[in-house]
Amino acid sequence: MATRSASVAASAWAGVAAVALGAGAGELVAALALPTASPIASMGAALIDLAPPWAKDAAIGLFGTADKLALIAGVVVVLVVVAAIAGLLEVRVPPWGRVLVVGLGLVGAVVASTRPDATGMAWIPSAVAGVVAAAALGPLARRCARAAAHAAPFVRADPADGNPDVAPAAPDPASAERGTGLDRRGFLLWSGVAAGAGVIAALGGWALQAGRQAASAVREAIALPRPAQTAAPIPATADLGIPDLAPVITPNAEFYRIDTALLVPDVDPHAWSLRIHGMVAREVVITWDELLALPLQESVTTLACVSNEVGGTLIGNAVWLGYPIRELLRQAGPDSGADMVLSRSVDGFTASTPLEALTDERNAILAVGMNGEPLPAEHGFPVRMVVPGLYGYVSATKWVTELQVTRFDAARAYWTDRGWSERGPIKLQSRIDVPRSGRQISAGDTVVAGVAWQQHVGIAAVEVQIDDGEWMPATLATAISDDTWVQWSMPWTATTGTHTVRCRAINARGQTQTGEHAPVVPDGATGWHQIGVTVA
């Protein structure tokens, strides 16, 4: 009798330990990669939405400001109950416990991916939770069953063994004790490890999230100073307003993101400083407050990634607020022998920028603002570099903390050590956005449109070719400046059938974009963007 009831508690505990491990794994995955998809938090949020108003009021009345915590606790209690049931099922009628646990993960996945702020991958943490819990539940339940079996008053015969001497033998109380003790201890050990790891993972994930929220609160509290020098207003004619055509200014939320940071660096601006050193007459150190006190300038610069394939989307255009790097370098006084600045970020990434690009007349800046707000964390908060005319990997260091004035023959940057060119001037490129590649359109009057760029050189014209016809001139929108991309469009009377549409740009120096294909490695792709269109 005693063993029976002990095994009810033990089976339930097996379920709780397995689900704790799974939930912890799910919370950690969410914290690391998908911050809005925490399985427990999304279930809690869904409960709030489902709860009738009186229940919400009652909960707030009961728990006061701790209502969020109470909600999480409520979800945890429900999880513990379901987990205990899963444990009982798995010990007695496998695999039903695992089925229940996987079902629980599925419910979590559905809830997380139907939250208003859900991303396409929001189901992953809950799926991970369900799979990990199920994988742990199987072995834990078997150990639990074994411990209970050995604790039974008679040693059962192994049917495959069939040794007549063993089966009916009276139990040796000492050995039964020993077996029970070992099995029980093994079960307790493994279930304890599972539950402990789960709790630690969940708490670690939550701590990480809390830290990140604190960082974003710091960012939100920042009021950037007004620019001492504003950018010229963006001409209304810079954006053709064509649906599906990339807007001339890329909203921050849509701006491409490329970096080597597994976790977005969390930099406290008040602890931040930038040090300019190396081949200089005197070191310069500037703090956040000192930087913000300088006369900041607005500039519009298009940023592009060297890994952008022909027709790719690793490019964006923003209004930046920052201070000219030129001025800071002047204070430091570079040696005449220096020809490169190695910028370093808080996470160790480095970029090699020609000294000239940082000292000539262009808008090479230490940026603090992007499209009217402090830099988003993933775009380099609190300070990054923006340099017109160079690919990001040799110029656009995010979370920048150091500028080392040096020489190309004396130092190498992060990507240079990995097969990429030490210099990365932007290549002349153009892209077709409309019609979307592979999209079917209807015959008749339509429009072909896209963007073209070669920052700090400028675009003079764009031409379009339908099938193997003549190259025809597109109309350019008003360029914001030579440092930005420019939209273009061309009317097209589309005839039924399938067509190939190509584009190429001509830069302000009169050079035509080459049709010769080059891969992105080592210094940027070339070739004409071409799309297939079906006209019905």
Binding residues vs Mo ion (CB under 5 A): 258, 305, 392-393
- Please state the closest distance from residue 71 (CB atom) to ligand MTE, in A: 35
Question: Which stretch, 106-114, 322-330, 342-350, 428-436, contacts ligand MTE (CB under 6 A)?
Answer: 342-350
Which does residue 63 touch among Mo ion, ligand MTE, none (CB within 5 to 8 A, set by kind)? Answer: none
| Of 318, 334, 487, residue with least CA distance to 405 | 334
Sole residue written with tokens 């939550």:
206
Nearer to ligand MTE, 11 or 397 (CB): 397
Dihedral of the alpha carbons of 388, 390, 391, 392, in degrees to the nearest 10:
-60
Describe the crossing of helices 124-151 and 39-50 by its angle, rounded to 10 degrees. Answer: 100
Bridging pattern class, strands 529-535 and 440-441: parallel
Nearer to ligand MTE, 305 or 355 (CB): 305
Q: Which residue is nearest to Mo ion (CB)?
A: 305
Question: Which stretch, 175-183, 212-220, 345-353, 433-441, contacts ligand MTE (CB under 6 A)?
Answer: 345-353
Which does residue 487 touch among Mo ion, ligand MTE, none (CB within 5 to 8 A, set by kind)? Answer: none
Nearer to ligand MTE, 397 or 416 (CB): 397
Nearer to Mo ion, 201 or 305 (CB): 305
Bridging pattern class, strands 315-324 and 444-453: unpaired
Residue 379 is classified by DSSP as G
Does residue 431 touch ligand MTE according to CB under 6 A? no
d(CA 301, CA 478): 15
Token pair for 94: 């496998």
List binders of ligand MTE among 252-271 (CB under 6 A).
255-261
Does residue 399 touch ligand MTE according to CB under 6 A? yes
- Please state the closest distance from residue 381 (CB atom) to ligand MTE, in A: 11
What binding mask, one character per residue, do residues 299-318 give for ligand MTE by CB under 6 A, x or -?
A: ----x-x-------------
Q: Which residues pair with 384 in a beta bridge?
A: 367
Dihedral of the alpha carbons of 362, 364, 370, 373, in degrees to the nearest 10:
-110
Tell me how crowded residue 62 is: count the other CB atoms within 10 A of its CB: 10
- Please state the closest distance from residue 224 (CB atom) to ligand MTE, in A: 17
- Please state the closest distance from residue 536 (CB atom) to Mo ion, in A: 39
Token pair for 525: 């792709």
Does residue 393 touch ligand MTE according to CB under 6 A? yes
* Strands of the 429-434 sheet, one edge to the other: 429-434, 444-453, 486-494, 475-476
Nearer to Mo ion, 13 or 391 (CB): 391
Nearer to Mo ion, 205 or 354 (CB): 354
Does residue 420 touch ligand MTE according to CB under 6 A? no
- Please state the closest distance from residue 147 (CB atom) to ligand MTE, in A: 51
- Please state the closest distance from residue 294 (CB atom) to ligand MTE, in A: 22
Nearer to ligand MTE, 321 or 531 (CB): 321
Which does residue 479 touch among Mo ion, ligand MTE, none (CB within 5 to 8 A, set by kind)? Answer: none
- Please state the closest distance from residue 304 (CB atom) to ligand MTE, in A: 7
Q: Which residues contact 478 (CB under 8 A, 6 or more apart)?
A: 235, 237, 238, 486
323 three-state secondary structure: strand
Q: What number of chain residues touch ligand MTE (CB under 6 A)?
A: 19
Does residue 523 touch ligand MTE according to CB under 6 A? no
Question: Within its chain, how far is the Cα of 368 from the centroid?
Answer: 21
Q: Which residue is nearest to ligand MTE (CB)?
A: 392
- Please state the closest distance from residue 473 (CB atom) to Mo ion, in A: 31
Q: Which residues contact 122 (CB under 8 A, 6 or more apart)?
A: 34, 36, 37, 42, 109, 112, 113, 115
214 three-state secondary structure: helix
Burial environment of residue 251 by CB neighbours within 10 A (0 to 12, 13 to 18, 19 or more): exposed
Cβ(330)–Cβ(294) below 8 Å:
no
Work out whether the CA dihedral 202, 205, 211, 212 comes out positive or negative.
negative
- Please state the closest distance from residue 345 (CB atom) to ligand MTE, in A: 3
d(CA 116, CA 181): 51
- Please state the closest distance from residue 315 (CB atom) to ligand MTE, in A: 9
Stretch (H or E) spanning 420:
none
Token pair for 136: 């742990």
Nearer to Mo ion, 13 or 420 (CB): 420
Instruction: Give, rounded to a whole angstrom, the gap between the first and last alpha carbons of the chain.
Output: 78
Nearer to ligand MTE, 145 or 396 (CB): 396
Nearer to Mo ion, 272 or 349 (CB): 349
Which does residue 396 touch among ligand MTE, Mo ion, none (CB within 5 to 8 A, set by kind)? Answer: ligand MTE
Integer CA distances (angstroms), 267 to 2, 273, 330, 395, 435, in order: 58, 10, 27, 20, 42
Which does residue 255 touch among ligand MTE, Mo ion, none (CB within 5 to 8 A, set by kind)? Answer: ligand MTE
Which does residue 399 touch among Mo ion, ligand MTE, none (CB within 5 to 8 A, set by kind)? Answer: ligand MTE
Nearer to ligand MTE, 87 or 316 (CB): 316
Nearer to ligand MTE, 291 or 501 (CB): 291
- Please state the closest distance from residue 307 (CB atom) to Mo ion, in A: 5
| Of 377, 366, 374, residue with least CA distance to 266 | 377
d(CA 434, CA 347): 39
- Please state the closest distance from residue 180 (CB atom) to ligand MTE, in A: 57
d(CA 466, CA 469): 6
**Binding positions for ligand MTE, rule: CB under 6 A:** 255-261, 303, 305, 345, 347, 349, 379, 392-393, 396-399
